Structure 1
């Protein structure tokens, strides 16, 4: 059985680039690092490094071992954390998955309130994507904030709680001719230069393009920003306009103006998937209750 400490030392040598750098990073002597690496080579029967000038270079076997032990070391780190939690009296853990705009708009206030009410609770916050949700353990989060239409089949082992709808808006640079005209239609943006604000395969991007296709045109994206906050900066610079979720357009610079979109316009349906394994989870239920209150009474959480 491989020694986890030796694996940590070996992985540090690969990441640091030398025995001495690893020793400095780990607070060990270079002799101790060399001994751990030599012992690991004997245990595995592998040649992990070879000489290159005055230094060493990891072999293909070493690089493969690093890759294969990523998950193992992650799990070992979680075990270390669990022991520390028990030692310090923290008995509960709650993993919450979230998407970027929810993270900026809701998560700081939620975490502040939840940790105040449950000081012994350990929170794991996981930025998740529509195509690859899950925590670092490979087990899905206890609560997963998702962008899903109401008719989406509920993931096995979870129950769904609808949170709110999030209509898309258009943001334009100050001085744009559309400002002051009230809600605009997507067809009013037909001749505009567009800035994308999400990955092409994301739910939001596909919704926007589908709605544009439905009114007879395809957006002319000249900038692939692929995240909301970079896209806002491109709009601020006068590069183009961007259609993005209202939740992502809450805090805009003064030189960017948000304009509502007239129907038919894309709308995100936001929900919380809560783990449902038959065991009551007071912290998870309270987190959802706080989140619901935060969404409907945002100013009450600013105090």
Structure 2
């Protein structure tokens, strides 16, 4: 049987490029590292390194073993986490993934609720912008953006959290800035700032709406995210169109106005594994997600100056109010 510790030392030598560098990284002496490598070669019956000038070069057999060692050590690390959880009294794991736009606004409240109410459950959190096709990558609960009619995979259900219509962010000196709403076609002649260089679903949804209005967005500047795109608008570079939640924090000198005819909308959903849907942690997570989604919607409406919204936000409990941003 292969010794896991020797595999780690071997992998360190391969990654570091020399016995001396591996020894420094591991806190060992070079002679101790050499002894581990010699023992592993004897254990496997393989020549893993060969001399190359004053250094070492990985052999073909060593390269293959190093690749396998990565997978072996990763699985061993997972087993060690399970053992640590059991020793600490944690008896289960709940995997939750989410997309970037809701990460800072929604997930802290959800995680706080779960860690407070269910200390025996270990949370496995992941940032994921898309619903994965690979079943092995699917979380127990995934907060995602999709069409409202999205049908989940077998063994999963869909919980609708929020419909998020799009707005145009433009300088507050723009001739259209005081409008209650703007038809999408009226923006055809503007300088557009692209806010999704990843070409994700939200951008494709916008492109389809513009096509229905008879034009293709004339993007002049690319930004990597919503805050940067809105900062460009604040600098007078152009306008940008994005989901309403993304415009909850407007830069100074800008205004967000709903776009209509057609009105692009994204749906924020929770895709939930059927096997865990009725467990107390998932029930609590979904309740918290619904709460923060509602607060976020009110906060976004407040940013647009919707009548009555500030009073509603002021009546929210202290626990809910911070999510409305």
CA contact (8 A) 1:165 1:267 kept: yes
1:109-133, CA deviations, whole angstroms, 9 ceiling, x for partnerless residues?
2112221222232111111132536
Counterparts of 1:1-303 in structure 2, within 5 Å, are 1-44=1-44, 47-50=47-50, 54-56=54-56, 58=58, 62=62, 65-130=65-130, 132=132, 138-173=136-171, 175-199=173-197, 201-277=199-275, 280-297=278-295, 300-302=319-321
Counterparts of 2:94 and 2:161, CA distance in 1? 19
Query: What residue ranges of structure 2 are gaps of 5+ in the alignment?
Result: 297-315
- Greater C-alpha Rg: 2
* Alignment CA distance shift 1:93-1:188 (3 Å): same
- Most deviating of 260-269 and 51-60: 51-60
For 2:91 and 2:282, the matched residues in 1 are separated by 14
Q: CA deviation at 1:285?
A: 1.4
> Residues 51-97 of structure 1: CA distance to partner in whole angstroms, max 9, x if unpaired?
55655455565555544444443332221111111111222211101
What is the CA-CA distance between 1:176 and the residue it aligns to?
Answer: 3.5
Q: 2:291, 2:143 → 1: CA distance?
A: 15
Deviation at 1:24, TM superposition (A): 3.0
- TM-score, normalization by structure 2: 0.80
**Alpha-carbon RMSD:** 2.9
Structure 1 residue runs without a partner (length 5+): none
| Matches of 2:20 and 2:253, distance apart in 1 | 51
Q: What per-residue deviation string (whole Å, max 9, x for no partner) do you get for residues 144-168 of structure 1?
A: 1122223222112111111111112
Could you give the per-residue CA deviations for residues 186-216 of structure 1, whole angstroms, max 9, x where no partner exists?
A: 2222122222222454211111111111111
Residue 310 of structure 2 corresponds to which residue in structure 1? none
Q: What is the distance in 1 between the residues matched to 2:117 and 2:282?
A: 12
Cα 1:192–1:80, aligned 2, differ >3 Å: closer, same or farther? same
For residue 261 of structure 1, report the CA deviation from its aligned partner.
1.5
Check whether the contact 1:97–1:133 (CA below 8 A) recurs between aligned residues.
no
